[in-house]
A = this chain, B = another copy of it.
C-alpha cells in the first residue's frame, strides 16, 4: 500500500513533457515561462490524479527557503503560552508561513539546542517567547542569519515585545484600592502584594507599579506589603496564612501575582468565614476563566496575547530587527462579578498601547 511518492519526473513522463515544464506549471509561473495553456491544464489534471505533493525539502533546498517560522515557549501546558501558540499559528498562516511551536521547559540548554535544530531545518524567522536566556538565543540566531523577536521576556540583543507589567500593576492596584473599604485596624488598612520572584523581570515591574500606586494613594509603602514568595501555590498559601496571623485578619486589598499563586491563596481563603472575605478586595495578575466562578469578587489582569504577537509579527513584516527596541503592550483589566450574571466578565479599560 505504501506507494512511492510521485515526483515531477513521474508527472513529466506521464505528460510527455519535461520536468521543468511540470515545475513551472505546478509552481504557478507557467505563464511567465510561456507554457501553452493546454499543456498546463494537462499537467495539472495529471498532478491531481496522481495526488502529487511537492517535496518541500527539495524545493526549499533549491530555493534556499523553507517556509517555516518557529516559536519557542517554555511549555505548552499553560494558559498563557498555549494561547500564544494559538495566536502564533493564526498570524503565521495569514502570511503563508508554516508555524512550528516547540517548548523548552525553561531549560537554557534545551532552549539553545532546540533553536539550533530549528535553524538546521532552515526556519526563516523565530519568535523567542518567555526564554530564560534570550540573549544566547539571539547570538545563535545572529550567527546563522535568522531574524528573530523576543516576546514576553525581554533580551538585549533583539527587539523585545513584552507585557506592560508596570502599567497593568498600576491599573490593578488602583482598581483594588478604589474598590476596597477602609478598615479600623491600622495594620489591616493596607494593600498587600503576594507571589512571584523578585529576580524575574515581570514580577519586578509589577512590584514597582504596585509600590508606586500605593505610595501615591497612601503616602508610603512598607517592605512587609510586598512578598515575592515564589510562584508555587503552596508558597502563596503559606504567605497569606502567615500574613493573616501577623495582621490579625485579611488586609484591605490583596494583589496576587499569578493564577498559580491564586490557587494556593484560595485554598487558604476557603478556611475563612464568608463575611471576612467580603471585607477584602482581591486582584490577580493573570487570568483564568475558572476563577470567574469563585465565591468572591475578583479583579484580574489578562495579558494581551494577540497584541503581543501582533506586534512581534509587525516587526517581522517590516524587517526592522536592527533597532533592538523594547515594546510594551498594555494588558486588560477584567472584573469577575460576584454573583452569576449574564456575561461573567466585563472588560474595564481594554486598551492596546505601544510605549
B340/A268 in contact, CB under 8 A: yes
**Closest Cβ of chain B: how far from A330's Cβ, in Å?**
21
**In whole angstroms, how far apart are the Cα atoms of A75 and B86 in the complex?**
7
Chain B residues lying within 8 Å of A75, measured Cβ to Cβ, are 86
**Closest Cβ of chain B: how far from A243's Cβ, in Å?**
16
- In the complex, the chain B residue whose C-beta lies closest to that of A84 is B76
Q: Which of A32-40, A126-134, A289-297 contacts B (4 or more CB under 8 A)?
A: A289-297
Judged by a CB distance under 8 angstroms, whether A326 is at the interface is no
Judged by a CB distance under 8 angstroms, whether A1 is at the interface is yes
Judged by a CB distance under 8 angstroms, whether A216 is at the interface is no
B-facing mask of A200-231, CB < 8 A → 1, else 0?
00000000000000000000000000000000
> Quick one: which of A225-272 are within 8 Å of B by CB?
237, 259, 263, 266-268, 270-271
**Closest Cβ of chain B: how far from A321's Cβ, in Å?**
10
> Quick one: which of A106-138 are within 8 Å of B by CB?
116-117, 119-122
> Quick one: which of A127-168 are within 8 Å of B by CB?
142-145
- In the complex, the chain B residue whose C-beta lies closest to that of A288 is B290
**Closest Cβ of chain B: how far from A48's Cβ, in Å?**
12
Chain A: interface residue total (CB-CB under 8 A) = 60
Name 26 interchain pairs, CB-CB below 8 A, sorted by A: A1-B142, A3-B143, A4-B145, A51-B143, A55-B120, A55-B122, A57-B57, A57-B122, A58-B61, A75-B86, A76-B83, A76-B85, A76-B89, A77-B82, A78-B82, A82-B82, A86-B103, A89-B102, A89-B103, A98-B121, A100-B100, A259-B290, A263-B289, A267-B292, A267-B344, A290-B291
Closest 6 CB pairs of A and B: A290-B290, A76-B85, A2-B145, A266-B293, A82-B82, A267-B340
Q: Which residues of A contact B (CB under 8 A)?
A: 1-5, 51, 53-58, 60-61, 66, 75-79, 82-83, 85-86, 89, 98-103, 116-117, 119-122, 142-145, 237, 259, 263, 266-268, 270-271, 288-295, 339-340, 344
Known: A76-B89, A89-B103, A237-B340. 14 other contacts (CB 8 A): A1-B145, A3-B145, A5-B145, A53-B116, A55-B61, A55-B120, A56-B120, A56-B121, A57-B57, A76-B86, A77-B79, A77-B82, A82-B82, A267-B292
